[in-house]
């Protein structure tokens, strides 16, 4: 019989290929050596140094599933393993990475023209260029189909579109060079590539949303467009309707399902170690049943969650996944990671209030992760609709 290893309780590693293990180990070492030492300060100051994206790019972790253009050409399981390693450090760093990979590079790769791919993908892969994804608006979050941002042909300049509207809560927006903006053209949602350096001065503003209570290590802001002019070759040529942004979200939500398990695993490691060191009533906290219950609950949820991710990843690699499967793992893993990390905060007593113990940062981040890319209740209704044929949204 095998010895039980709490750090890989159901032996996920045994179900991975050599390539997947090698990518996961590279990502792990990079994240621990380069990102982990920055995170407490990054979270305190709420500053995201754009060099971080270049560092992530230099180890090949941006757009890893894309073939060519300087990308790794790895499978979806590998992408999930990378997200898990980045989010083991911080959900904000995983946000910055997954927006670049899933929400900017992925749509360019699947919807873009050859010219768009050649122009943008190599620079996005190195992190020299930073991208963001503008879907959410001040009045339309869970219901992006009602968006107000519009694109119109320029009244006098041939081959030019003009964008007007506002997007909010956009990861990377204040420092982005490239904006994937979803806007209605003749009432239909279309995707546009807005290059900061190419638009008329004063037409594009990207103020940061400051003083966040979570995800402080990533930068978030608005995209305010007032007569942004872009050439028509910067529109995705074929894709129209919500299918465009949701195709991107399928990939990002899949990564989040893995990522949250990394955050939960880190919460478990921190709480276990703390409980062995801290003594009350003459014993280490780890000796008490109620503490062990919290650890056992969290460990079970993390490992069930990872195996569900692996199953959906294998299906995705075979082209056999359904979006509802991704809704299921995104919702379940966010909810379990949030609930368990909150319970594990209790193990730290008053020290949970010190950022040096890291646990509270992780739990607060997970509240946002459970909200973005479809709040958990929205995913429950996506599943309920698939089960019953009845839409509960409208």
DSSP tally for the chain: helices H, then strands E: 12, 11
Q: How many whole angstroms separate alpha carbon 160 and alpha carbon 151?
A: 10
Residues 73-102 that bind ligand FAD (CB under 6 A): 99
Contact by Cβ (8 Å): 252, 373: yes
Please, what is the minimum distance in Å from the beta carbon of residue 120 to ligand FAD? Answer: 17
Among the candidate windows 44-52, 60-68, 238-246, 291-299, which touches ligand TGC by CB under 6 A? Answer: 238-246
What are 167's strand-pairing partners?
A: 223
Contact by Cβ (8 Å): 104, 112: no
Q: How many whole angstroms separate alpha carbon 219 and alpha carbon 175?
A: 8
Cβ-based nearer residue to ligand FAD, 135 or 298: 135
Strands (E), the chain: 67-68, 71-72, 131-134, 150-153, 160-171, 178-185, 188-195, 204-205, 220-231, 279-280, 283-284
Q: Which of 55, 110, 323, 355 binds ligand TGC (CB under 6 A)?
A: 323
Please, what is the minimum distance in Å from the beta carbon of residue 171 to ligand FAD? Answer: 4
373 is annotated as an active-site residue: yes
Q: Which of 135, 189, 249, 312 binds ligand FAD (CB under 6 A)?
A: 135
Q: How many whole angstroms separate alpha carbon 334 and alpha carbon 371?
A: 9
Q: Which of 220, 333, 365, 370 binds ligand FAD (CB under 6 A)?
A: 220
Size of the site for ligand FAD (CB under 6 A): 21
Q: Is 151 in the site for ligand TGC (CB under 6 A)?
A: no
The CA distances from residue 334 to 122, 124, 262, in Å, are 32, 28, 11
Which of ligand FAD, ligand TGC, none sits in contact with 368, Cβ below 5 to 8 A by type? ligand FAD
Which of ligand FAD, ligand TGC, none sits in contact with 147, Cβ below 5 to 8 A by type? none
Which of ligand FAD, ligand TGC, none sits in contact with 101, Cβ below 5 to 8 A by type? none
Q: Is 372 in the site for ligand TGC (CB under 6 A)?
A: yes
Q: Is 171 in the site for ligand FAD (CB under 6 A)?
A: yes
**Residues that are catalytic:** 373
């Amino acid at each position: 019989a095998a010895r039980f290893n709490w750090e890989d309780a159901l032996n996920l590693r045994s179900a991975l290929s050599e390539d997947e293990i090698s990518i996961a180990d590279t990502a792990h070492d990079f994240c621990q050596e380069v990102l982990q030492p920055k995170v407490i300060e990054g979270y305190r100051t709420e500053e995201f140094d754009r060099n971080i994206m270049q560092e992530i790019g230099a180890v090949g972790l941006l757009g890893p599933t894309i073939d060519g253009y300087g990308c790794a050409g790895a499978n979806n399981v590998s992408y999930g393993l990378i997200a898990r390693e980045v989010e083991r450090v911080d959900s904000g760093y995983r946000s910055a990475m997954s927006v670049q990979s899933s929400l900017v590079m992925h749509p360019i790769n699947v919807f873009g023209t050859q010219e768009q791919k050649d122009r943008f993908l190599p620079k996005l892969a190195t992190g020299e260029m930073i991208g963001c994804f503008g879907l959410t608006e001040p009045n339309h979050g869970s219901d992006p189909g009602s968006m107000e941002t519009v694109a119109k042909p320029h009244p006098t300049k041939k081959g030019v579109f003009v964008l007007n509207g506002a997007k909010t809560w956009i990861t990377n927006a204040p420092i982005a060079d490239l904006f994937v903006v979803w806007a209605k053209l003749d009432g239909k949602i279309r995707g546009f590539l807005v290059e900061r350096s190419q638009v008329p001065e004063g037409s594009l503003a990207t103020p940061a949303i400051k003083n966040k209570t979570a995800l402080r290590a990533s930068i978030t802001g608005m995209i305010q467009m007032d007569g942004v002019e872009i050439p028509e070759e910067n529109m995705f040529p074929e894709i129209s309707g919500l299918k465009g942004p949701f195709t991107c979200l399928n990939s990002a939500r899949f990564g989040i399902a893995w990522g949250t398990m990394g955050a939960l695993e880190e919460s478990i490691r921190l709480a276990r170690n703390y409980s062995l060191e801290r003594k009350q009533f003459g014993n280490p906290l780890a000796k008490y049943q109620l503490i062990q219950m919290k650890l056992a609950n969290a460990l079970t949820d993390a490992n069930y969650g990872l195996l569900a991710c692996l199953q959906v990843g294998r299906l995705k690699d075979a082209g056999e996944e359904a979006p509802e499967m991704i809704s299921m793992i995104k919702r379940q893993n966010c909810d379990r990671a949030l609930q368990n990390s909150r319970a594990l905060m209790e193990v730290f007593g008053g020290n949970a209030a010190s950022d040096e113990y890291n646990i509270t940062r992780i739990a607060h981040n997970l509240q946002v992760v459970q909200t973005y890319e479809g709040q958990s209740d929205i995913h429950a209704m996506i599943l309920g609709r698939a089960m019953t044929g009845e839409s509960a949204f409208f």
